[in-house]
Structure 1
Amino acid sequence: MMSTDLGSFQSEHVRVSKSLNESESKYVRERKLKIEKCLQNNGINCQEADVPHIAVLASGGGERAMVGLLGCLDQMGQDNLLDSTLYLFGLSGSTWCMSLVYEDPVWSSNLSITKDKLIKRLTETSVEPITIIRWLTEAIKLENYSMTDFGSAAAAYYYFKAVDRSRLSEQKQRDTTNPYPIYTATENGLKQRGLTADCWFEFSPHEAGYSHVGAFVDTSMFGSQFEAGVLKQKMEERDMLYLQGLCGSALADGKENKENIKQMIWDRIKVFFGQRSTTNNEMSSSKSAELPVTEVASGVSTVAVASHWRVPCDCQACTFINILLQIHDNPEDEFMLEKLRQFQTEISSQGHPSVLILEKETWKKMATEERDKYLADLTKSLDGLFSGACDVSAVGMKTLPVVYSWTWGTHSNFLFKYPAGEGKVPDMLLSAEHIYLEDAGFVINSPYVAALRAERKVDLILSFDFSAGDPFLTVNLAAEYCKESGIPFPPVDVPEEEKENPKDFYVFKGEQGPTVIHMPLFNVVNCEGDVNKWRETYSTFQLPFTREMIQDLLRVSSLNVANNKKRILEEIQAVCQRK
């Protein structure tokens, strides 16, 4: 193991430049020594100057991508291929796998042990609910609390089974044992304006910023307030759990099926706050024998919050939250609307006259969006009034407004008022105080934009595609991006009969640009011809996989590497000869 200190990079200033930062460049130079040795052990001899830059790209796909990437990396380790890679780029669910394996500073040297530990954690352990609430209780104190925080907590509870409090910038102290990790996301404001190249955002242990634009800040400083390129207020770097939620926030887009996605979020909120559907008769009774823990305040049941989260919840805030949850399920429910009106009247009489009183006739005339805005504004107006609220209720009071407004990934904009030259940075980034980062899977469901930065000089891309839909969509979108941006990229030519039922290995080459090896997760080889069955079994939005499902998915994903080791080495050899 090398003992190189790569932790020297630190800056309190914004850097607008296409070049790599000095520490990444140093990492690349020293990692190539390890790559050269690995290639020699595989019978490929090349001079140090000719060592190829090989990047592993892992697409999104929720838990399917998380487990699929783990299987691919483990097999690469077994086949002595992992040490040939320079970079590991992840997006959405694949970043979940990355964050888990990088918990071990030398994971690529003992990946089989790491894999077994992760499988055990994912299938046999759980995280205490009170641990999740404590993390959220800290998060709601932040100025830029958003749905990403709640989504991160939900992911930890359902999928990761742990709360990772470490920070990405802490990894810059490590040596070059592992491939250099880069996590990707997109900025929603730029994406909505059609700037689908400019919107790409990347995180490495050293820098965070815009891959295509070329604007960065030290990762430890991301989230801090800058103005005109100068640090104004240092904020603590968010932890890895938050980064897991940020990169894997596919629910944030909601573009194609927003109402269903919103309902999924609401269902998780109800689980977190112990709510369940109740009838008007149950609501009006003083006690209900059917409920394990019931406190009735103003006629509204707080339903088992205490037993689920092990904290007391007999406060006005909890009453208010339960009213809103009931109204969300039944927005025309006269009984609950009257309870809300009574609640508002009571709060107003306690010395808070600024609280608006609901007029039911006005409510009935509102559209859904108007109702959401009204309830968000109402919740915000009550913020801070319930000083005795328990942690669960305090989290609820902060979470409901961002659910109503559908606000994700809020961060201070480090480019605010930056004096950039004309055309260097999109105008929106120079004028906005905040940016909104989210899952990149709905732009290109693979991190090509970060990998194709010219300064990274990537020669060979090993693309593991964990999509459940079109198995060639990511590589086709990458080709379109490169054409529009003037970046060399090979032509993508796939036989018509293979577009729905792909093989397990494709190579795309051109006169310029990188060679791309594209490997769809589900294919006619490892799925024995029944590709659709596997796609249906491992859908993106579902409950966590069982141990049996995880074992089967690890097996088929590892086969894509095991069956093609010789062909991968042939393409590496070809790249070396071309260099």
Structure 2
Amino acid sequence: MASILFPGGNTATSEKTNSKIRFSSDLSAGEKKSIENRKAKVSACLTSLGMNVDQNKIPQIAVILSGGSMTAAIGSLGTLVELKNQNLLDAVTFISGCSGATWLMTSLYDKGDWTKNLDSIDNELRAQWASLNFDATKGIQKLIAAAEQDNYSLTHFWAYIIVNFTVSELNEKVISSQRAVCESGNVPYPYYSSVDKQQVDTKGKNNFGTWFQNTPHEAGYPLIGAFLNSEYFDNKYSNSQLVKKEPELDLCYLQGIWSSALAAPEQTLKLVIEKIVEYIVQPYAPKSKPSTGLLSGLPVLGNLNLITSILSDLEKILKEGAEGSKVLVEQLLTVLSVVRDTVTYQLVKWMNDRWDTNDLEEKLNLFSILNLLQLVELAGLVIPVAKVLIKTVLCLVGWIWGTTDNFLYKSGASVPSDLTDKEFRFLIDAGFANNSPYPLILRKEQQVKLILSFEFYPMLDPFLGIKQASDYCKANNIPFPKVEIDPADQFNPDGCYIFEDVNTPTVFHFPIFNRVTSEGTVQQRTAQYNIANLKYSIKDIDKLYDIALRNVRNYAEKMKDKIQLLLSDLVD
């Protein structure tokens, strides 16, 4: 779709607008080059399938890989492998991924011409994901460096600890390094999705300022038509001028942005608290209680003995599972009220507000965090991760994710003022808007004729993504086929659904667990591959991988038949 705000396009080259910000509905020069060079690959692929092809009239085919944590990563791998086995992968021009699917995508595109070497990459990735080995030390080092930045958020912790652990890799490459292989035309062009939290919260999922994309060439708001070069993403701008150039963000951090919605907020919160304890508190907390001399440094707190006593009593009650812990938290809050500006006070206040909803394990974990935090912040305990601890806890109580320097800040461009009046934007997992990132491949300029959409998150509704895409298209006047689904199929879907209409792209929709490849076990599989699970055994990985293979294999001929019809329509 053309940009709502810049229908004719406008490259920002005036004195008032930095040349590295592009306001246009058009695709970037790098995207155009990649798409143009891809035509030869697509043409050769379709010719090998016995189709008559005019290279100037090739249907644009897009693959959508939904989110779904490791389920999505594994399912996406099996999907792409079988598309290659069926000689269909080279017919694809675009791949758009969300959340866990982006974990796979970054690993593939880092390897250059991955479509050529997919067989060996496939085995390597499955073994890597089953491994419990990951570089926690490097993750902590990255966090220590990140904590020196103004825009530190829980996304840093999520990326360098949780994503690092889940995929057994801390990816320090940069997204711009993927340009060369894309421009060669050897691989489909990738779109990595996220959404602007402020826009989602205030204007909803279908607002044109909600969706954000990262590609090897640019980052920006595709429906608004506001972009900047990828290497300048999350650099400080003001009045459309670059204020300060920072090193390009590594892919591990970007994965943190793209995959920050593991599950329900409470599950995510619980996991973050557990990992703070595991990787910050346990390794760095004093093995024995500090001396009174150390504690005497507490500012303005004449009742040191009372604080120590409350903490000791709280620990004892929690470990014994006895009643009365809430009263002690309230007492501690009262005592700390003289230092309200401290993160320690903010943590205790937050704990007090939600204490009754926490289970015992979470209460113990929060106590451990509090105990180390008050030693660091109030008593002057020196540990290498002091700033990481303080900033992570501050972001925890504020639930701050994806803090990003706003390249549109005070830009003066013809974009909504609520996108230009704040110095920071907060970018989060696109699953908060739609777990299947249709908006990134539905722009008029992309001319997509066939969408192969693979759904890996069936917990609520295996059709939720395509239903939300339909709503999005209605709200923004984008051509999309009518979506009608038998309610009985929600908990026992078929293997493939085809949605088509006049002057719209055709959509093939594939629920990962269905009555064809998971006959009689749809709900069992759905529960087994819950997206809250970060790790699977190689046996379980291979089982899910095989299901994804069969989902593609079963409908390969239908896909080929549709492509043939599209070719015929283009010739006519």
The answer to whether the aligner puts 1:401 opposite 2:391 as a matched pair is: no
1:406 Cα deviation from its structure 2 partner: 0.6
Q: Is contact 1:64-1:466 (8 Å) kept?
A: yes
1:503 Cα deviation from its structure 2 partner: 1.1
1:560 Cα deviation from its structure 2 partner: 0.8
Aligned to 2:248: 237
3-state SS in 1 of match to 2:243 = strand
Question: C-alpha offsets along residues 327-357 of structure 1, whole Å, 9 cap, x if unaligned?
Answer: 9989636399669969x99xx9xxxx98699
Aligned to 1:455: 445
1: CA distance between counterparts of 2:379 and 2:139? 21
Between stretches 171-180 and 55-64, larger displacement belongs to 171-180
Q: Is contact 1:136-1:395 (8 Å) kept?
A: yes
Aligned to 2:78: 71
Aligned to 1:18: 25
Change (3 A) 1:20 1:335: closer
2: CA distance between counterparts of 1:33 and 1:106? 15
3-state SS in 2 of match to 1:107 = coil
1:113 Cα deviation from its structure 2 partner: 0.4
Q: Is contact 1:39-1:84 (8 Å) kept?
A: yes
Q: What is the letter of the counterpart of residue 212 of structure 1? A: L
1:176 Cα deviation from its structure 2 partner: 2.0
Q: Pairwise CA RMSD of aligned residues?
A: 3.7
The answer to whether the aligner puts 1:39 opposite 2:41 as a matched pair is: no
1:65 Cα deviation from its structure 2 partner: 0.4
2:422 paired residue among 422, 432, 435: 432
Q: How many aligned residue pairs are there?
A: 516
Change (3 A) 1:240 1:338: same
Aligned to 1:248: 259
1:567 paired residue among 555, 558, 572: 558
1:451 Cα deviation from its structure 2 partner: 0.8
Q: Is contact 2:261-2:268 (8 Å) kept?
A: no
1: CA distance between counterparts of 2:241 and 2:343? 41
Q: Is contact 2:78-2:546 (8 Å) kept?
A: yes
Aligned to 1:282: none
1:264 Cα deviation from its structure 2 partner: 2.6
The answer to whether the aligner puts 1:164 opposite 2:171 as a matched pair is: yes
1:102 paired residue among 109, 118, 122: 109
Q: What is the letter of the counterpart of residue 175 of structure 2? A: L
TM-score (norm 1): 0.81
Q: Is contact 2:176-2:216 (8 Å) kept?
A: yes
2: CA distance between counterparts of 1:575 and 1:299? 78
Between stretches 484-493 and 390-399, larger displacement belongs to 390-399
1:450 Cα deviation from its structure 2 partner: 0.7
TM-score (norm 2): 0.82
Q: What is the letter of the counterpart of residue 44 of structure 1? A: M
Aligned to 1:85: 92
Q: Is contact 2:43-2:55 (8 Å) kept?
A: yes
1:122 paired residue among 119, 129, 141: 129
2: CA distance between counterparts of 1:74 and 1:189? 37
Counterparts of residues 131-146 of structure 1 (less than 5 Å)? 131-146=138-153
3-state SS in 2 of match to 1:550 = helix
| Moved beyond 6 Å, runs of 4+ | 325-331, 353-359, 362-366, 375-388
1:258 Cα deviation from its structure 2 partner: 3.6
The answer to whether the aligner puts 1:525 opposite 2:509 as a matched pair is: no
1:535 paired residue among 526, 531, 541: 526
Change (3 A) 1:356 1:68: closer
2: CA distance between counterparts of 1:357 and 1:71? 47
Change (3 A) 1:169 1:484: same
Question: C-alpha offsets along residues 408-448 of structure 1, whole Å, 9 cap, x if unaligned?
Answer: 00011111112223xxx222101111100000112111010
Q: What is the letter of the counterpart of residue 57 of structure 1? A: I
1:204 paired residue among 198, 215, 221: 215
2: CA distance between counterparts of 1:465 and 1:514? 18
1: CA distance between counterparts of 2:274 and 2:315? 12
Q: Is contact 1:183-1:204 (8 Å) kept?
A: yes
Question: C-alpha offsets along residues 105-141 of structure 1, whole Å, 9 cap, x if unaligned?
Answer: 0111111100101111112351132121112111111
2: CA distance between counterparts of 1:236 and 1:565? 44
2: CA distance between counterparts of 1:378 and 1:413? 36
Aligned to 1:475: 466
3-state SS in 2 of match to 1:438 = strand
2: CA distance between counterparts of 1:466 and 1:395? 34
What percent identity do the matched residue pairs reach?
31
3-state SS in 2 of match to 1:31 = helix
1: CA distance between counterparts of 2:267 and 2:404? 26
Change (3 A) 1:295 1:426: same
Q: Is contact 1:327-1:336 (8 Å) kept?
A: no
1:508 Cα deviation from its structure 2 partner: 0.8
Change (3 A) 1:363 1:51: closer
